Amino acid sequence: MNRDEALVLIKEVLTDVVPGADAAALAPDENFRDNLEMDSLDFLNFIEALSERTGLALPESDYPALNTLDGCADYVTSRTSVK
Amino acid sequence: MADFTMPSLGADMDEGTLVEWLVGPGDTVTKGDVVAVVETAKSTIEVECFDSGTVGALLVEPGTTVPVGTRMAVIDSGAEPPAPAPAPAPAPAKATAPTSELQTAPGHATTPTRDAVSTPLVRHLAEQKGIDLSSVHGSGKGGRITRSDVEHTPAERPHRVKASPLARRLALSSGVDLSALRGTGRGGTIRAEDVRAATAAPASRTVESREAARPPSATAEPAYPARAAIAALMSRANRDIPHYYLSTTIDLAVAMAWMRDRNASRPVAERLVPAALLLKSVALAARQVPELNGYWKEEAFVPSPAVRLGVAVSLRGGGLVAPALANADTMPLPELMATLKGLVSRARSGRLRASETADPTLTVTNLGDQGVEAVFGVIYPPQVALVGLGRVTERPVAVDGMLTVHPTVTATLAADHRASDGATGARLLTAIDRLLQRPEEL
């Protein structure tokens, strides 16, 4: 998956998890958990959906890297293009 | 024969508005099936029926507000189902029609554009599964699509209409078919404005509802019914209940390490969040200190044998509901986590079940992720205590005479001085602390 594809997918997942969320309005390096007022259950739903769509395990220790669009896109791109 | 009546969906509820029937006359229902959607001042709730049998007459029309206990439908528990329902009346009923008037197929009144071969229950099921009913072959009488037809149709995955929760509620209460709308939100998400625009068109406006009649900025206004209901209840609580408050900070190093360790080896779907551990420990503590788990009724405290933990859930766009986690003290942690996830998502989408709103015995308010250290709540009458949990945060703590940094949480208690005093309250907070030091036993 290239970076652009990853970004599209991440935004889709975000809008699914937080109905009405405006993913296009998020700055790439902004913490979207704060911006979208996601609580820990919302974030877990996001991780769950992202894991389902990408096939990545997304261990809890990697959560800190997954708070921003940039962080998520880099993460997904680097893990999915290795194989 | 049994009556289906307007249930009491919380201590503070006097009346409710029937939003939609999910069954029609002649439908077979089983105890526990969701048969109607009811709107209270605070949220929209799916109501299950308590009997099995065949739905007879529906006595209340969608859009009507009736007091708790009003007969809304007759459920015939006899063996022979009556003849199939007659063809639906073409004219949609007015919301203001008298409640005594009998209606044969009220479900159709809210969605006149749909064909007559499916019942509301079937449509509801299809909507949940994201199935387009026009593509389903009906195996029932006269091509009628039955529940099992829908159940045996594979779901078309992403077909589910994307809509905000407010839009869904508006659509439901104003009889707008979401799938027929074009969303103007991101990725085609249907927003409340889209639904309002659709209800403004005279052709599709069938049921005049309170929601639809509200101005577009409704959620921001103080007149928002949920806000008014909360205000009334909390004013009563503050006036009638002599509160006392306690607070303690709990070291979560052991609990968080245990959780991280456990989560590391599990797929996302089976992972826990700190809230699950905290809620479980509160539920167990409530069993150990029964003086705080129950109700204040007629000048006396009535302890509850079971722990039904109320969980305060903030809704997007404002408002608060506190559905109950039944048997939270005996439920295994993974199950509690799954139930909590479901409860929160149903609360936010306005789809709580009636059985989930029935009187909690002790409420927890968890402002966990919103950055505050401690929350001092107002007791939810007729309960006698409320536990507040702040954010899990790293703080300096003294361990064995040495200063170190651990994750901690501040747990507070607001309790009713008529029912208990500080020493009892302190036992509850101490019990929560003790339980969290042995997370593997939760």
Q: Please write the tens of the pLDDT for every residue from A10-68.
A: 999 998 888 778 888 888 888 988 888 888 888 999 999 999 999 999 999 899 999 89
Q: Cα(A41)–Cα(A39) distance, rounded to whole angstroms?
A: 5
What pLDDT does residue B409 have? Answer: 96
Task: Count CA atoms closer than 13 A to A42's CA, side-chain side.
Answer: 26
Are β-strands B385-389 and B402-416 bridged in parallel, bridged antiparallel, or unpaired?
antiparallel
CB B275 within 8 A of CB B390: no
Residues pairing with B309 in the sheet: B325, B362
Length of chain B: 442
| A44/B271 Cβ within 8 A | yes
Which residue has tokens 């005996």? B330
- Per-10-residue mean pLDDT, chain B, length 442: 82 81 88 86 81 88 87 77 46 40 39 48 67 66 66 54 66 70 69 71 40 42 67 89 96 96 91 94 97 94 95 80 91 94 86 84 83 90 95 92 95 96 96 96 92
Question: Least CA distance to B260: which residue of chain A?
Answer: A60
What pLDDT is recorded for position B273? 93
Nearest beta carbon to residue B189 from set A19, A41, A57: A19
Query: Is A19 near chain B, with CB under 8 Å?
Result: yes
Nearest to A44 among B164, B260, B273 (CB): B273
Q: Supply B105's token pair.
A: 């197929």
The 10 Å Cβ neighbour count of residue A63 is 13
Angle B78-B80-B85 from CA coordinates, rounded to 5°: 110
Inspect the interface and report whether the beta carbons of A16 and B162 lie closer than 8 Å: yes
Q: A15 and B162: CB-CB below 8 Å?
A: yes
Do B341 and A16 make contact, defined as CB atoms within 8 angstroms? no
Contact B263 A60 (CB under 8 A): yes
Cβ-based contacts of A56 with chain B (< 8 Å): none
B125 — phi, psi (to 5°)?
-60, -45
Q: Which of B375, B297, B312 is nearest to B344 (CA)?
A: B312
Note whether A82 contacts B: Cβ–Cβ < 8 A. Answer: no
Between CA B272 and CA B254 the distance in angstroms is: 15
Rounded-to-integer distance, Cα B80 and Cα B53, Å: 9
| Strand residue runs (E) in A2-80 | none
C-alpha radius of gyration, chain A, whole number: 12
Residue A29 backbone dihedrals phi, psi, to 5 degrees: -105, 15
